[in-house]
Structure formats: structure tokens, C-alpha cells
């Protein structure tokens, strides 16, 4: 599953290309793309015909957690990210990630511990990591467990609130 703005800089074209390889090898694999289609990528394309209904574009949602709960893996092959909070949101739902090894995302995913990182813009490396997630369910489940644990231990609302309070205290009262 992909969650985010659907455009080139989020790596959606690479994700679809990698899924093309994966869907040929794993006929039961499905890719769900959740988010607004900013680039018109899904307009007029024959994805339904090509993928036989295995590539689903949902569009914008206010309830991404409902889709996370239906996913085995979240993919974010982005070219640039400030942080990759969608990966932490997925982790909080017990879903591991396959994501680009770039600044921001590498802070949200611990490679080999909470998900798998792939070389940015590399369709072949993305497909390889997707294949690992499909072919090694025990690894996927272990990554999911550790992703959930990390989301609870390092990104709970109480921890984030405390960090924000400390930030403002230091910024405004210790000038």
C-alpha cells in the first residue's frame, strides 16, 4: 500500500513499475494507492486492464488507519521527505515499511529492524525489497512487531507533547 499525495516526487511511477514485476511473480499481490492524484497519473490509464484489478486507487481519505489495517506493507518510494510521518502512522498500526533510503525517511524507518530501505529511484531495488516482504512472512511479521514497538516507545503522543513543550521552553525562555 502507498499512502500520500500521488505524484512523481513521491515515487509512485517507480512503485507501479516495481509492482508490475511483483504482480507477475505473485499473482495474488495487490497494490492499493491511497491519496489524492495530484498529477493525473490514474486518469485515462488502463491500469485496471493491465493489472486485472490488482492495482487499486482509493483517492483521498480522512481515515488512513482503516487502510493501514488492511495492509501487509506500506511503501514510500519518495525522492524527498522531511520526515515520513506516514511511516510512523503505519508502524503505529503494526505495519512495516519499504521506503527510500533518503534523509527524513531513514529517520522514520530503521533498515532491517522496522522496515526495509531501498535505493532511491531504483525500481529494481524497490521490487527486490517488496519481494522480500512477500516471500518472507516471518521477517515481515518481525518487522511489523518492532515497528509497532518503536512507534509506541518513541512516538507516542505523550513523548511528542513533552518534546514540543521542551522545544518551546528552550526557544522562548532561555534566549
Statement: residue 139 has pLDDT above 70: yes
Nearest by Cα to 35 from 80, 74, 83, 92: 74
CATH of residue 83's domain is 3.40.50.2000
Close Cβ partners of 126 (under 8 Å, ≥ 6 residues apart): 11, 14, 15, 18, 75, 77, 98, 118
Statement: residue 174 has pLDDT above 70: no
Domain with 49, as residue range(s), is 2-172
Close Cβ partners of 20 (under 8 Å, ≥ 6 residues apart): 50, 51
Cell numbers standing for residue 67: 487502510
Predicted confidence band of residue 169 (pLDDT cuts 50, 70, 90): confident
Question: Rounded to 10 degrees, what is the CA torsion of 119, 122, 124, 129?
Answer: 40
Mean confidence (pLDDT) of the chain: 92
Question: Rounded to 10 degrees, what is the CA torsion of 144, 146, 149, 154?
Answer: -110
- Count of domains observed in the chain: 1
- Could you report the per-residue pLDDT of 66-113, keeping only the tens digit for each? 999 999 999 999 999 999 999 999 999 999 999 999 999 999 999 999
Is the distance from CB of 13 to CB of 78 less than 8 angstroms? Answer: no
Q: Enter the pTM of the model.
A: 0.89
- Could you report the per-residue pLDDT of 33-63, keeping only the tens digit for each? 999 999 999 887 778 788 988 999 999 999 9
Amino acid at each position: 500500500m502507498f499512502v500520500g499525495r500521488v505524484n512523481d516526487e513521491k515515487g509512485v511511477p517507480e512503485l507501479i513499475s516495481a509492482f508490475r514485476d511483483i504482480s507477475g511473480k505473485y499473482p495474488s499481490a495487490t497494490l492499493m494507492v491511497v491519496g489524492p492524484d495530484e498529477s493525473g497519473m490514474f486518469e485515462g490509464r488502463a491500469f485496471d486492464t493491465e493489472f486485472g484489478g490488482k492495482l487499486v486507487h482509493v483517492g483521498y481519505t480522512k481515515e488512513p488507519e482503516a487502510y493501514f489495517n488492511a495492509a501487509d506493507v506500506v511503501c514510500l518510494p519518495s525522492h524527498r521527505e522531511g520526515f515520513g510521518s506516514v511511516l510512523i502512522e503505519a508502524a503505529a498500526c503494526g505495519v512495516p515499511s519499504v521506503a527510500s533510503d533518503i534523509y527524513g525517511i531513514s529517520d522514520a524507518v530503521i533498515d532491517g529492524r522496522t522496515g526495509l530501505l531501498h535505493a532511491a529511484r531504483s525500481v529494481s531495488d524497490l521490487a527486490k525489497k517488496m519481494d522480500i516482504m512477500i516471500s518472507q512472512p516471518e521477517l515481515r511479521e518481525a518487522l511489523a512487531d518492532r515497528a509497532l514497538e518503536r512507534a509506541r516507545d518513541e512516538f507516542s503522543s505523550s513523548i511528542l507533547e513533552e518534546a514540543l513543550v521542551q522545544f518551546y521552553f528552550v526557544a522562548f525562555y532561555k534566549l
